Amino acid sequence: MPGTTDRGGITLEGISRVFGGGIVAVDQIDLAIRPGEFFTLLGPSGCGKTTLLRMIAGFETPDSGRIVISGREMQTVPPHRRAVNTVFQSYALFPHLNVAENIGFGLRMRGIARAERKFRTDQIMALLQIDDFATRNPAQLSGGQRQRVALARALVNEPEVVLLDEPLSALDAKLRAELQVELMRMQKRLGMTFIFVTHDQQEALVMSDRIAVMERGRLLQVGPVLDVYEQPRSVFVAEFLGLSNIWPITPAPGNTADTPLGRLTIVTPIGNERTAMIRPEKIWIYNDTAAPLDRPNIFRGTVREAIYMGASTQYRVELHDGSIVLALDTNNQAAERSWQPGEAVALEIKPENIILIDG
């Protein structure tokens, strides 16, 4: 029997899935997900993240490799015998059953006694704040309420792993943001392993302990959210996870590099890296006449576009050589001012904020 430290842990070794016509959906995935972790599979549509989730759930069979859940090999075990429950994007609620009956359905199928079913169903409804809707049918619920019912149905069975396949994508922006935080807090309280599939970078950043960025069936980078965002290892990861400025570079004397902008001072000499990246929020914007001339990496240009985004404003600045740089400035009381299209500005790109990428 697996030890208690294995409960909820998942190991994937050499997992591949090829569909008809030779379409490679998942390509030799090796991955270890820790017990009690909120882990997110992030990537664009068609990258293989949902196929990978379905193989963990047992709805797809891998063509090769091993799936180990809580210390037990699972790739040939049917879905109903795996200690996982899945929350689907469509919720998949039974329309003829009320909320309490939907939640308790799995317990009834397992032969759990009526009194125990009611106790566990009432407990999970209270936790998710849906106990007032116990006698309603799904058609009488809002999207957010249906999402909570689907989640309650998964959690009431006390699985070791909860799999979530883009369950928030159909909700409006405000409710989606609220449920992101609620899901994260709930996972921490329950201590279950959550594996979340999404193409939404904001969801991944808000909720995850670690994320895996996927593209064309492969894992490009796996790590804590902060590490992946701040230190992307590829241009794809840098561009997919957040906004970025990316330029090709060639070595220059000392700690400098030549780019389309001109010469940049960097922290360390260039090795095999061929690309420089900086996030827009890490670029300082000054009035053209107020730029600190005693510091490196000062570039002058003209604001071509200012997009107000509530908490921040995104600027597209055209430099004198025609290059476009994205800069992001927060809209707070400490902000000196905002800039309008046509205004002359200066940008400061601090050397310590430049990330070098090999590729």
pTM: 0.87
Q: Is the pLDDT reported for residue 3 higher than 50? A: no
The dihedral through the CA atoms of 285, 289, 295, 298 has a sign that is: positive
Rounded CA-CA distance 213/339 in Å is 35
Rounded CA-CA distance 147/153 in Å is 10
Rounded CA-CA distance 76/322 in Å is 58
pLDDT at res. 336: 59
Question: Domain limits of the chain?
Answer: 4-239, 251-357
Q: Is the pLDDT reported for residue 145 higher than 50? A: yes
* Residues 159 and 84 sit within 8 Å (Cβ to Cβ): yes
- CA-nearest of 188, 166, 155, 158 to 36 is 188
299-353 pLDDT, tens digit per residue, is 999 999 999 988 889 999 999 888 999 999 988 755 557 889 999 999 999 999 9
pLDDT at res. 198: 92
- CA-nearest of 109, 110, 79, 111 to 94 is 109
282-298 pLDDT, tens digit per residue, is 999 998 888 788 889 99
- Write b or e for each residue in 220-234: b if 16 or more Cβ atoms lie within 10 A of its Cβ, otherwise e: bbbeebeebbeebbb
242-283 pLDDT, tens digit per residue, is 899 999 998 888 888 899 988 899 988 777 778 999 999 999
- Apex 29 CA angle, 27 and 35, nearest 5: 155
322 Cβ contact list (under 8 Å, min separation 6): none
pLDDT at res. 276: 93
In this prediction, residues 180-201 reach a mean pLDDT of 88
The CATH architecture one would assign to domain 4-239 is 3-Layer(aba) Sandwich (3.40)
131 Cβ contact list (under 8 Å, min separation 6): 122, 125
Q: Is the pLDDT reported for residue 2 higher than 80? A: no
* CATH 2.40.50.100 fits domain 251-357: yes
Rounded CA-CA distance 109/111 in Å is 5
CA dist 85 → 32, 57, 161, 221, 245 (Å)? 19, 7, 7, 26, 40
CA dist 300 → 129, 286, 355 (Å)? 54, 9, 21
Rounded CA-CA distance 325/280 in Å is 8
92-119 pLDDT, tens digit per residue, is 788 999 999 999 988 888 888 999 999 9
pLDDT at res. 97: 92
Q: Is the pLDDT reported for residue 1 higher than 70? A: no
Q: How many CB atoms lie within 10 A of CB 356?
A: 18
Rounded CA-CA distance 238/244 in Å is 7
